[in-house]
């Protein structure tokens, strides 16, 4: 029997196919690292750990959280941007990555080009808080005072350039008021100043302040986003309280190095979205006042672009000089 050359090649290809399939690397091959640009114990760290635990179950490999706090999220972001693009090193991205574009003259990476977006994980509100015995019964009373007394309302936030600080400056712009923004080293110092009467109002992440509200130590006049916070259901949004156009939410997401293979990104995205859809993860993060929400890569990329534009405008309006 005569066997054609084409038939011979086909048989050879069929024989080699199993070996070729075996040669393809399995993903994930080893533990996956999520680099978090913030210290342990904060909402970003808790989010990464809750999501990472569930992703580990889905992917069949451990997910390790590495905390690399730094100004502007630069250390963790640069480490991921320059990591091997194989899906084993991920970044817990946040609105801090968007803010840093306006705060620094030159970053060692491009947030929009050097990362492959995977999915958002959730959004968390800021709150506008006053002491329990404050003279301001509601947001309207606070705004009336600020408009009648330019520069007399003392506003406390954490460090200049932080989400809290920039949210307070955006509040000034939207409300058309002038305040004295006083920066503190950290959230505990802001809370102490608020309860001690050093400041009139504080802008702070809502979730960690919920126990203070529940204990009656402080009052929340409004939350910053366009919908009420699940942990503070009786607190109106800023728009509902009389300040239309003020809509601020911080967020966390996952990203990989650019050039990560599409099939790897797809597997990571599916695992991340399965994690944020998990009742256990939603309950754990919901208790912190987080609105847990996944996304497509395109939606995350669009969000990052909008946030870069928005916070760049706030930074310029606040006359904060890039470092």
| SS3 (DSSP) at 118 | strand
Residue 181 CB coordination number (10 Å): 19
Residue 322 CB coordination number (10 Å): 14
Backbone torsions φ then ψ of 238, nearest 5 degrees: -60, -40
Nearest to 290 by CA among 253, 245, 244: 253
247 neighbors 224 (Cβ within 8 angstroms):
yes
From its phi and psi, is residue 136 left (phi > 0), alpha (psi between -120 and 50) or beta?
beta
Residues of the chain falling short of pLDDT 70: 1-25
Which position has the token pair 């809290």?
Answer: 164
pLDDT at 25: 63
Task: Name all domains of the chain by residue range, CATH numbers in brackets.
Answer: 32-124+249-317 (3.40.190.150), 125-223 (3.40.190.10)
pLDDT at 13: 47
Q: How far is CA 170 from CA 111, 223, 226, 246, 315, in A?
A: 23, 14, 15, 8, 9
pLDDT at 19: 43
Q: What is the pLDDT of residues 239-280, one digit of tens each?
A: 999 999 999 989 999 999 999 999 999 999 999 999 999 999
- 66 - beta bridge partners? 35
pLDDT at 259: 97
Q: Tell me the whole-structure pTM to 2 decimals.
A: 0.81
CA distance 123 to 120: 8
Which residues make Cβ contacts (< 8 Å) with residue 155, sequence separation at least 6?
Answer: 168, 179, 180, 181, 182, 199, 200, 201, 202, 203
């Amino acid at each position: 029997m005569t066997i054609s050359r084409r038939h011979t090649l086909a048989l050879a290809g069929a024989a080699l196919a199993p070996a070729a399939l075996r040669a393809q690397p399995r993903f994930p091959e080893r533990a996956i690292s999520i680099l978090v640009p913030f210290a342990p114990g904060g909402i970003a760290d808790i989010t990464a750990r809750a999501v990472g635990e569930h992703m580990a179950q889905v992917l069949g490999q451990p997910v390790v959280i590495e905390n690399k706090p730094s100004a502007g999220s630069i250390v963790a972001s640069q480490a991921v941007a320059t990591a091997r693009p194989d899906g084993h090193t991920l970044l817990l991205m946040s609105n801090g990555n968007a803010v840093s574009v306006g705060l620094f003259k030159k970053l060692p990476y491009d947030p929009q080009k050097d990362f492959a977006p995977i999915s958002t994980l959730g959004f968390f509100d800021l709150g506008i808080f006053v002491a329990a015995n404050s003279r301001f019964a509601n947001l309207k009373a606070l705004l009336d005072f600020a408009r009648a007394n330019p520069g007399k309302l003392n506003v406390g936030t954490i460090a200049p350039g932080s989400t809290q600080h920039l949210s307070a400056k955006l509040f000034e712009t939207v409300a058309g008021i002038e305040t004295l923004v006083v920066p503190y080293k950290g959230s505990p110092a802001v809370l102490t100043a608020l309860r001690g009467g050093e400041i009139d109002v504080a802008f702070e992440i809502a979730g960690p302040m919920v126990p203070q509200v529940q204990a009656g130590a402080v009052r929340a006049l409004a939350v910053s986003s366009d919908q009420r916070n699940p942990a503070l259901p009786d607190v109106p949004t800023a728009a509902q309280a009389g300040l239309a156009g003020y809509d601020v939410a911080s967020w966390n997401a996952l990203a990989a190095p650019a050039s990560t293979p599409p099939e790897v990104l797809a597997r990571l995205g599916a695992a991340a979205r399965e994690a944020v859809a998990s009742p256990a993860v939603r309950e754990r993060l919901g208790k912190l006042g987080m609105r847990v929400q996944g996304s497509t890569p395109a939606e995350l990329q669009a969000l990052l672009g909008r946030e870069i534009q928005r916070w760049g405008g706030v930074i310029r309006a606040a006359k904060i000089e890039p470092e």
